[in-house]
Structure 1
Amino acid sequence: MSRSQKKIDKINFEIFTLTYGEIVTTLLKDYEDVEEVNNQLDKMGYSMGIRMVDEFLAFTGLNKCSDFRDTADAIANKAFPLFLGFPAGIQNFDEKKKEFSLVLDQNPLIEFVELPPKYKGLFYCNILCGIIRGSLEMLQIDVEAKYKKCVLRGDERSEIFISLKQDPKKGDK
């Protein structure tokens, strides 16, 4: 990737970061229901993920992951740095249950955000869950992704729980 392309990508990401808060605010005004806003953010992210997977594969040159652990590593150590500028940690990986948690020690989408108490049930970055689901679905990997903890809700860290719903090799998990 050329130096000018990196600069353009950084500018695009900064614009997204700055406008994301307005997207969430507009959804809160339109729906007036925190759960519905969470659903809408997930749907938006899902649509983005479907489109982003091609860019991810093109930039990383990554071949097919050999197992669910490789998938977790690709999300945490390749996709997050590529699109958000930082890696995510992997915790509680369970090979048998095919599940793990992504731990976000940093997140530029929430740097200047405070949620009023009336929005306590909001998962502000729920768009990330949709992006993960949409991207993996395009690779024939059916997962559930949901926030388990969120710094904006008073938790010590943000954590996204991901579990395989269907193993393409074996049918249901």
Structure 2
Amino acid sequence: MRPRFFLCFRGYNIGVRLIEDFLARNNSSRCNDFRETADIISKVGFKMYLGITPVVSNWSPAGDEFSLLIENNPLADFVELPPGHNNLNFSNLLCGVLKGALEMVQMDVDVRFVQDQLKGDNITELRLKFLRRLEDAIPVGED
């Protein structure tokens, strides 16, 4: 279980820092809802940093959960999972990046792998679920 946590944690730290660069380069305003957030992530964020545009799909009826479908995952190019490590999510870094970046814009989300091309699936699928809006916290003593 340690490799999954480690990769997700590293990705989280990257996402926390990456969002500042994203907001500085992109003149978009605050997203009004989770659907708008999904569009910005797929059409702008992934394109800007990975050169791909995942498909946003499989919305839940409540509109609080969706999938990002990645046809060609650049993080998986030239990678083969070693024998006995089929439970490893090699691109789990993406889950952490998304979680960290969205947390910095006050969105608590759960991000997980559903399908992975390295495991023989036709597509890589990440599932994002909106959990709650985070409140801005003012440090103690700085009213």
Q: Find the counterpart in structure 2 of residue 159 from structure 1.
A: 125
Q: 1:75 is paired with a residue of what secondary structure?
A: helix
Between the aligned partners of 1:160 and 1:89, the Cα distance in structure 2 is 10
User: TM-score under structure 1 normalisation?
Assistant: 0.75
Structure having the larger proportion of residues in helix: 1
Structure 2: gaps of 5 or more residues? 136-143
**Separation of aligned partners in 1, 2:61 and 2:21:** 28
Q: Which has the higher contact order (CA 8 A, sep 6+)?
A: 2
> What's the CA shift for 1:117?
2.7
Q: Does 1:82 align with 2:48?
A: yes
Aligned length: 135
Q: TM-score, normalised by structure 2?
A: 0.90
1:65 counterpart (13, 28, 31): 31
Q: CA deviation at 1:154?
A: 1.1
1:22-171 equivalences in 2 (<5 Å):
35-94=1-60, 96-167=62-133
**Structure 1 unmatched runs, 5+:** 1-34
AA partner of residue 135 (structure 1): A
Letter in 1 for 2:60: D
Tell me if the contact between 1:90 and 1:101 (Cα under 8 Å) persists in the aligned partners: yes
User: How far 1:168 moved relative to its partner?
Assistant: 5.1
Cα shift at 1:66: 1.0
Distance 1:95 1:79, change over 3 A: farther
**Structure 2 counterpart of 1:142, one-letter code:** D
Listed one character per residue, the Cα deviations across residues 15-72 of structure 1 (whole Å, up to 9, x for unaligned) are xxxxxxxxxxxxxxxxxxxx21111000000000000001111111111001100000
Cα offset, 1:97, TM superposition: 4.8
Greater mean deviation of Cα atoms: 92-101 or 53-62: 92-101
Distance 2:74 2:65 in 1: 25
**Runs of 4+ off more than 4 Å:** none
Q: Which amino acid aligns with 2:18?
A: M
